[in-house]
Amino acid sequence: MVSKEDVKYIAELCKLKFSEEELEEFTAEFCRIIGFVELLKEVDTEGVEATYHVSPKIQPLREDKVEPSLSREKVLQNAPEEQYGYFKLPRIMD
């Protein structure tokens, strides 16, 4: 099942931080969800092809034709800050 460590790890991947209380809470919730999925394992899937996508549609392909982009003003409309036409953020290094 899901351990507290698992929840912590997933939270880290999502750049989230939980209190000890929250960790307990999520661990229990995750366990319930996984437990529910466990139920599905009881179904006999012998000879059934794996579902690799749940969409019944087929992806239409777009012709390679240029369409107008947004103006830079529009592009930067939601930018927290801008400089020289760029989105400006605090320094982030890999």
Partner 1 sequence: MRYKTMIGLEIHVELMTKTKIFCGCPNDFGGDVNTHCCPVCLGLPGALPVLNKSAVEYAIKAGLAFNSQIATRTRMDRKNYFYPDLVKGYQISQDEIPLCSGGYVEIEKEDGPKKIRLMRIHIEEDTGKSIHTEEADTLLDYNRGGVPLIEIVTYPDMNTPEEARLFLEKLRATLKYIEVSDCKMEEGSLRCDININVIDTQTNTRTNITELKNLNSFKAAVKAMEYEEKRHIALLEAGKNTEGETRRWDEVKNETIVMREKGGVADYRYAPDFDIAPIVIEEEWIDEIRNSLPELPHDKKERFIREYGLPEYDAGVLTQSKELADFYEETNKYAKDPKQVSNWIMGDVLRRLKDEELEIEDLKFGPKDLAHLLELINSGKISNNIGKKVLREMFETGGKPEKIVKERGLIQISDEGELESIVKKVLSENQQSIIDYKNGKDRALGYLIGQVMKATKGKANPQLVNKMVREMIEE
- Report the interface residues with partner 1, using CB under 8 A: 13, 15, 52-55, 57-72, 75-76, 83-94
Q: Which residue has the tokens 């794996």?
A: 50
Nearer to partner 1, 17 or 72 (CB): 72
Nearer to partner 1, 13 or 21 (CB): 13
Q: What is the DSSP letter of 77?
A: T
- Distance separating alpha carbons of residues 11 and 25, to the nearest angstrom: 13
Nearer to partner 1, 47 or 56 (CB): 56
